[in-house]
Each structure stands twice: as structure tokens, then as C-alpha cells.
């Protein structure tokens, strides 16, 4: 059994933390502008979810899949 490195294990935590940091920033900006706590909490939640989905989709697009055991590596990276 292969051991997973701490970098691979902490990767999801980094993405959730980055999404939370961006959401807190946007939520605080909206709180300072509107001075409505409920509205800024709604914006915070929506921003957190949208950032999380966006980061997950970008990670899927960037991270290449490893070929299965026995498969050969394609000649072009477009496959």
C-alpha cells in the first residue's frame, strides 16, 4: 500500500481555506458597504459555495489523470 504524502492529504484543506478566505473578504466588504448583517451573511455563503465549485472545477481541469495500470501514455496530451 502506498503512503499518501502530507501535501496530497492537505490539498483539499487548502482549497476550502482559500474559498473561505475569499468569502470572508467579500462578506466583510458587503458588511461595510451595506451595514446589513443578514445580507452580508447571505453574500458570504453564496461566495463560499461559488468559490468552492470554481476551484474544484479548475483543479479537475488542471490535474491530469494518470493512466491505469497496463495502459500506455498517449502520444499527444490532447487525448
CA 45 – CA 24 distance, rounded (Å): 9
In tens, the pLDDT along 37-46 reads: 999 999 999 9
Q: What percent of the chain has pLDDT over 90?
A: 51
pTM of the model: 0.72
**Crossing angle for the helix pair 6-34 and 37-62, to the nearest 10 degrees:** 150
- Using alpha carbons, list the distances in angstroms from residue 40 to 2, 45, 48: 45, 9, 12
In tens, the pLDDT along 14-68 reads: 999 999 999 999 999 999 999 999 999 999 999 999 999 999 898 888 766 666 6
Q: What pLDDT score does 20 carry? A: 96
Amino acid at each position: 500500500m502506498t503512503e499518501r504524502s502530507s501535501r496530497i492529504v492537505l490539498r483539499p484543506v487548502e482549497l476550502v481555506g482559500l474559498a473561505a478566505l475569499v468569502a470572508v473578504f467579500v462578506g466583510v466588504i458587503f458588511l461595510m458597504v451595506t451595514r446589513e448583517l443578514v445580507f452580508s451573511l447571505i453574500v458570504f455563503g453564496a461566495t463560499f459555495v461559488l468559490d468552492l465549485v470554481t476551484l474544484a472545477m479548475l483543479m479537475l481541469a488542471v490535474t491530469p489523470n494518470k493512466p491505469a495500470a497496463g495502459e500506455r501514455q498517449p502520444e499527444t496530451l490532447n487525448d
